[in-house]
Amino acid sequence: VIFSLEMSRTEIVMRLLSAEAKIRLSDMRSGRMTDDDWTRLARRMGEISEAPLFIDDSPNMTMMEIRAKARRLKQRHDLRLIIVDYLQLMTSGKKVESRQQEVSEFSRHLKLLAKELEVPVVTISQLNRGPEQRTDKKPMLADLRESGSLEQDADMVMLIHRPDAWERDDPRAGEADLILAKHRNGPTTTVTVAHQLHYSRFNDMAQG
């Protein structure tokens, strides 16, 4: 299940179709597609519609709502994965001392939910402006926004760095580093992949 607090269900499905059918998102939005594009799109639409994927784009979701919905999906559909996009858009619906404390609570509750339902929870988080101040612009664990507890609660933290996001003419244009900055049960590492933003996807780097 994807709990999307930022994008609508329609936007997510369009990105999935773009990635799977390899059709530019801009072409899908404008309708400028070839007959071959339409054929691929129809085939992928059928596959995605039959996939065991639930997208919940309800606005202003609270932690209590996410927990209740996830439990229900676990009982009825053998839930295998929970994605929350993104943490800082969640609301508790109650008065709190600070936003940092509130986000820390969300982080802790999601950790408990993963243990209770025995499914992985992938939570997307914003970063602060730390990378902008550094020469290499690479994100670090300390850049996780509004909450020090995210770093403690997570079993794994993956950060994405695209050199050409900062310098369009960067010699590594088209590449992205997936930085495994924390791994509770294994080593940390960095994997370089190719990004195809027009298809909303990452690919393995070409060999050789």
- Domain ranges in the chain? 1-58, 60-152, 155-208
**Per-residue pLDDT reduced to its tens digit, 34-64:** 999 999 999 999 999 999 999 999 988 889 9
CATH number, domain 60-152: 3.40.50.300
- Active site includes 146? no
Model confidence band, residue 21 (pLDDT cutoffs 50, 70, 90):
very high
**Per-residue pLDDT reduced to its tens digit, 108-167:** 999 999 999 999 999 998 888 777 778 888 888 888 866 668 888 899 999 999 988 888
Model confidence band, residue 208 (pLDDT cutoffs 50, 70, 90):
low
Say yes or no to pLDDT of 168 above 90. no
State the average pLDDT over residues 7-31. 93
CA separation for the pair 122, 193 (Å, rounded): 20
Q: Other CB atoms closer than 10 Å to residue 125's CB: what's the count?
A: 20
Element (H, E) at 183: strand 175-183
What is the rounded average pLDDT for all residues in the chain?
89
Cβ atoms of residues 92 and 39 within 8 Å: no
Of 6, 47, 116, 167, the catalytic one is 6
